[in-house]
Structure 1
Amino acid sequence: MNPIRYGMIGGGRGAFIGGVHRTAAAIAGNWQLVAGALSSTPDKARASGEDIGLPANRNYSSWSEMFEREISLPVNERIEAVAIVTPNHMHAPPAIAAMEAGFDVILDKPLAATMADAIAIAETADRTGRLIAITHTYAAYPMVKLARDMIVGGKVGAVRRVAVKYTQDWLAHISDAGENKQAQWRMDPVQAGPAGAFGDIGTHAANLVEFITGERIASICAELTMLPGRVIDDDGAALFRLSGGGRGTLIASQVCVGDMNDLAIAIYCDDAGLHWRQEDPNRLTVKRRARPDEIWHAGADRTYLPVGLSALQRTPGGHPEGYLEAFANIYRAFGQHIRGAAQAGEAGYATLADALAGMAFIDACVASSERGAVWVDVDPGEGALR
């Protein structure tokens, strides 16, 4: 297929996730970066574009300039999609403008800083018919997809209990914010939204639960906390109930000293327990009562894996694939959808419905914690708490 011509918004000098998106798109092989507005500061935007080799005539000082100039180009030259890699509060304006201009959108989670902005994005997508993908990366790992196949496919029985944790330590000390650009906006409710750690990584944990089980988190009881002097959560824990009747626990923290990026999940079903850890992503352990443990390994040559999973892997077993390749799986799948070449089955990326569920999760956790850790329904359909 012809590569998707795309422009990037954000992701310039000092940014982390912009480079990840560009690398993932290159690995996917069906995307081509042709334009960008890489910073909200015009001079920095142009300098950042020069850094990565954007052509001068398509290295823009703002996303509004990019849209205005790109739609004036011939259809077979202009961008077809945009990747938005800005702080949360700057997701909605360019996403809405991009769809209005006729471009599809891929953007980081959460969908927006507020539910109102998220609903505005969703309404624009519905009205314009444009496609949106959200980069919940961890659901794109092959072994995570295998776990989903086992559970949703009815191979291990109904879900009884889930235990998921996502713990980091990069904000474990007050001084860690300092001059750290990535920390500063994530700890500012105006830019990040109402939740800190639960909005940043708690949403990943929640999405992983929902993706693997094929169920939604229906209600939650959460306690969010923070170190003295901070105004937004950096730590928290929650109990939750799944739509299918199962129960679970979720921990999301950025102040757990010694943990780098420890996302781990265990799903206990009628007939087996499934265990996966992001820091050892190429193995899925399946445990059964009074039987030896099963260890499933990733790898393009693992013939025992379902055909769809083999197609997502690029190297033989024993050659680790990880975060960037999982990210690339999202770009690959979204590119296929844009081109109308997607296969039947799950989308291969987090959809708008998944993203709205993530926004409802954030609002429910904040509301529960503010009310003293009471049970609150999660309502992605109405966009408000019942």
Structure 2
Amino acid sequence: MAENGARRIRLGMVGGGTGAFIGAVHRIAARIDGDYELVAGALSSNPETAMESGKNLRLAEDRIYTSYEDMAAKESARPDGIEAVAIVTPNHVHFGPAKTFLEAGIHVICDKPVTSTLEDARALAEVQPKNGAKFLLTHNYTGFPLVRQARELVASGALGKLRVVQVEYPQEWLTEATDPDNKQAAWRTDPKRSGAGGAIGDIGTHAYNLARFVTGLTTEAVSADLQSFVPGRELDDNVHILLRFEGGARGMLWASQVAVGNENGLQLRVYGDKGGLEWRQDNPNYMWFTEFGKPKQLLTRGGSISAPPAASMNVRIPAGHPEGYLEAFATLYSQFAQVIRGEGDDVAPLLPSLADGIEGLEFIMAAVASSKADGKWTRLSDV
């Protein structure tokens, strides 16, 4: 991290202007470990909002842009130009900026899902980045220390042969019809901006990525039931999906934005023939691990039970002091900084990639196709 003497990486941002939720999250995450300095931005497609937002962030006026194309061209030509860019726009404005900046030799940090369509995701994989520019997809839940410890437990064989994976992500915030003035809700329920999936694309892909990251299992096929419970809503707001994994394990995924009483209830349970584990995002510093025939063990972030390197390398404060969502996000930023500096060989395999983004879109499209076919088992390889 920069606090250990490493130089700060010059960062730009596309999207994330005034009133945007996720842009502020990315900026906080980039600052936590001191690895980045935000120096440029195309913060809105509205020129007035772009200029106002840039001034509020104290960017130099000549580095406040009204289009990402202009930003990429001018920053790549500057000797002090940005080295990385964070793309925090609605889904349909991921592909263009990602392609443009990669081709300009600028590293890309992109919010999920990687694009709004599978075709665009696959096209992005064909881009030849200039000067070896790298790509990070911010599936931030993979940055929690105990999620990484869960991954290490599975990989070590502590759970034995995996049998059952259950993951869920319930929320309530879209229980009623969308308020047109709520920008966050408006674009997420609009297929032109969000893509083919509603809840499945917004939070279902997070749940799916978490399950895949921890278990390492490869998905063969899905059987899905996608519903739009709110009258007039064009995209799903509740999804139930059965998963078949290679090797015989089975899974269940539930994601909902109409589950009254739930704020952000992401949780994962994994069971093998030797043991099981349970983790919740709203209490992320604790995880239950049970070996068959033995009492449950409560594992804590930075606790007395020694954690593997992947889980301990990003523990910032002593056990008992909670770390959460922002710190997990910051871990991805900090470790991507190591990759950019050429020092991240040990962390690169832990960071969500473009390939993960493509699989996330394959998962969405397979689930949509399955639901339209009344839950027919649909292989990810067939979409």
Which category describes the TM-score, using the shorter chain as reference length?
Answer: over 0.9
State the shift of 1:348 in Å: 2.9
State the shift of 1:313 in Å: 1.1
Equivalent in 7, 14, 17 of residue 12 of structure 2: 7
Structure 1 stretch 365-374 or stretch 337-346: which is displaced more? 337-346
Distance 1:80 1:354 in 2: 23
The equivalences for 1:210-229 within 5 A come to 210-226=212-228, 227-229=230-232
> Do 1:302 and 1:310's aligned partners in 2 also have CA atoms closer than 8 Å?
no
Aligned to 1:67: 72
Matched, 1:266 2:265: no
Alpha-carbon RMSD across the aligned residues, in angstroms, is 1.4
Aligned to 2:188: 186
1:305 alignment partner, SS class: coil
Aligned to 1:99: 102
2:44 alignment partner, SS class: coil
Matched, 1:54 2:56: no
Matched, 1:235 2:232: no
Distance 1:123 1:81 in 2: 20
Structure 1 stretch 306-315 or stretch 89-98: which is displaced more? 306-315
> Do 1:67 and 1:101's aligned partners in 2 also have CA atoms closer than 8 Å?
yes
The equivalences for 1:353-372 within 5 A come to 353-372=355-374
Aligned to 2:350: 348
State the shift of 1:377 in Å: 0.3
Aligned to 2:3: none
State the shift of 1:158 in Å: 1.4
> TM-score normalised to the size of structure 2?
0.95
Distance 1:354 1:325 in 2: 21
State the shift of 1:366 in Å: 0.5
Distance 2:308 2:96 in 1: 40
2:19 alignment partner, SS class: coil
> Do 2:145 and 2:310's aligned partners in 1 also have CA atoms closer than 8 Å?
no
- Residues 278-337 of structure 1, C-alpha deviations (whole Å, 9 max, x = no match): 0000011012333211010003x6461123422201111111000000000101111111
Kindly tell me: are residues 152 and 7 of structure 1, through their superposed partners in 2, closer, same or farther at Cα, counting changes over 3 Å?
Answer: same
The equivalences for 1:245-284 within 5 A come to 245-284=248-287
Which one-letter code corresponds to 2:119 in the other structure? A
Equivalent in 76, 79, 83 of residue 86 of structure 2: 83
For this pair of structures, how many residues does the alignment match? 377
> Percentage identity across aligned positions?
46
Which one-letter code corresponds to 1:122 in the other structure? A
Aligned to 1:324: 326
State the shift of 1:90 in Å: 0.4
Structure 1 stretch 341-350 or stretch 261-270: which is displaced more? 341-350
Which one-letter code corresponds to 2:319 in the other structure? G
- Residues 252-293 of structure 1, C-alpha deviations (whole Å, 9 max, x = no match): 100000100000110001111100000000011012333211
State the shift of 1:216 in Å: 2.2
Which one-letter code corresponds to 2:40 in the other structure? A
Equivalent in 108, 111, 115 of residue 111 of structure 2: 108
Distance 2:17 2:334 in 1: 23
State the shift of 1:41 in Å: 0.6
State the shift of 1:345 in Å: 5.7
- Residues 215-250 of structure 1, C-alpha deviations (whole Å, 9 max, x = no match): 222210000001221111011101001123200100
Distance 2:311 2:239 in 1: 34
Matched, 1:19 2:24: yes
Distance 1:308 1:240 in 2: 27
Aligned to 1:378: 380
Runs (5+) with no aligned partner, structure 2: 1-5
Which one-letter code corresponds to 2:30 in the other structure? A
Kindly tell me: are residues 252 and 128 of structure 1, through their superposed partners in 2, closer, same or farther at Cα, counting changes over 3 Å?
Answer: farther
- Residues 63-102 of structure 1, C-alpha deviations (whole Å, 9 max, x = no match): 112112212211xx11111100000000001111111111
Distance 1:127 1:371 in 2: 42
Structure 1 stretch 17-26 or stretch 58-67: which is displaced more? 58-67
Distance 1:369 1:64 in 2: 38
Distance 2:271 2:169 in 1: 18
Aligned to 1:151: 154
1:11 alignment partner, SS class: coil
Equivalent in 199, 205, 209 of residue 203 of structure 1: 205
> Do 1:80 and 1:103's aligned partners in 2 also have CA atoms closer than 8 Å?
yes
> Do 1:333 and 1:347's aligned partners in 2 also have CA atoms closer than 8 Å?
no
2:356 alignment partner, SS class: helix
State the shift of 1:54 in Å: 1.1
Distance 2:176 2:285 in 1: 32
> Do 2:335 and 2:347's aligned partners in 1 also have CA atoms closer than 8 Å?
no
Runs (5+) with no aligned partner, structure 1: none
Which one-letter code corresponds to 1:214 in the other structure? G
> Do 1:125 and 1:132's aligned partners in 2 also have CA atoms closer than 8 Å?
no
Aligned to 2:340: 338
> TM-score normalised to the size of structure 1?
0.95
